[in-house]
């Protein structure tokens, strides 16, 4: 089955930059989307496509993609960015969606 | 702006059938695929399946034998049924719209989530 792999946890100092990566072969065919999830809340879309931010998402969030790896970068991390982040993409071979394993971001 | 609201039984016994429904407000129901996604306690997100207004559906292969997603387009609603549940099916279940454009797909918005607990 298809998989998307993320680092389990990363930490970043307040105001610094952190990059979250997502790896998997299905990313060669479809871009990843990225979701922020805070405790007790539903996931929130923060990035999709090559580098598309939904309305209301701060511009300190940016996305990129190369080969089998997608990245979400937070430039100037804020305390409110502390959350779990999940990537997701489509597996066109069997019409299913696959979520990444998730990364817990801690803002120090 | 589209909003999703979901409901269903939150406490089940092992071997029973899980049943949840999601209603879509404020957007053209017929233009999109509608999804179910779940999250076991302390774990990541798992895609369950999707359906469009005509009933065309796709399922996660790992759940396909137990899952059925149905639609009532006249009510802008879609429903999830998961049979023969076990403790491993304990999770928060979300409904969500998927958007597709060329090589891009994304889930937005999401329902509020429903906690489903399976007891033995």
Count Cα neighbours of A97 within 13 Å in the Cβ-side half-sphere: 33
Write down the pLDDT at residue A1: 64
**Which segments within B1-120 are labelled E, that is strand?**
3-8, 11-13, 18-25, 33-39, 46-51, 57-59, 67-72, 77-82, 91-101, 104-110, 114-119
pLDDT single digits (tens) B78-94:
999 999 999 999 999 99
Quickly tell me which residue has 């937005």 as its tokens.
B108
Tell me whether residues B107 and A45 touch, CB distance under 8 A.
yes
- Taking CA–CA distances from A3, the nearest residue in chain B reads B46
Instruction: Note the Cα B3 to chain centre separation in Å.
Output: 15
pLDDT at B24: 97
pLDDT at B27: 75
- Residues 56-95 on B with a CB inside 8 Å of A are 58-62, 94
Determine the pLDDT at residue B28: 83
Distance from CA of B31 to the nearest CA of A (A): 18
User: For residues A74 and A18, is the Cβ–Cβ distance under 8 A?
Assistant: yes
- List, for residues B2-35, the tens digit of each pLDDT value: 999 999 999 999 999 999 999 999 878 999 999 9
Q: Which segments in chain A show pLDDT lower than 50?
A: none
What digits encode the pLDDT tens for the residues A76-106? Answer: 999 999 999 999 999 988 889 999 999 999 9
A102: which chain B residues are within 8 Å (Cβ-Cβ)? 44-45
Residues B58, A96: C-beta atoms closer than 8 Å: yes
């Amino acid at each position: 089955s298809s998989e998307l792999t993320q680092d389990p946890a990363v930490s970043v100092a307040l105001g610094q930059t952190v990059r979250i990566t997502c790896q998997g072969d299905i990313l060669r065919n479809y871009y990843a989307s990225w979701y922020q999830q805070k405790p007790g809340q539903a996931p929130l879309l923060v990035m999709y496509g090559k580098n598309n931010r939904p309305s209301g998402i701060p511009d300190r969030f940016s996305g990129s993609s190369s080969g089998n790896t997608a990245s979400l970068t937070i430039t100037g991390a804020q305390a409110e960015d502390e959350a779990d982040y999940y990537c997701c993409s489509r597996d066109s071979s069997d019409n299913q969606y696959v979520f990444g394993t998730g990364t817990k971001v801690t803002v120090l | 702006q589209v909003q999703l609201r979901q409901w269903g039984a939150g406490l089940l016994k092992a071997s029973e059938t899980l049943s949840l429904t999601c209603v879509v407000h404020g957007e053209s129901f017929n233009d999109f695929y509608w999804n179910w996604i779940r999250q076991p306690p302390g774990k990541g997100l798992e895609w369950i399946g999707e359906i469009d207004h005509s009933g065309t559906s796709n399922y996660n292969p790992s759940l396909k034998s137990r899952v059925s997603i149905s639609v009532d387009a006249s009510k802008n609603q879609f429903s999830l049924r998961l049979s023969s549940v076990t403790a491993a099916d304990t999770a928060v279940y979300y409904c969500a719209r998927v958007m597709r454009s060329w090589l891009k797909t994304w889930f937005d918005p999401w329902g509020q989530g429903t906690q489903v607990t399976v007891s033995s």
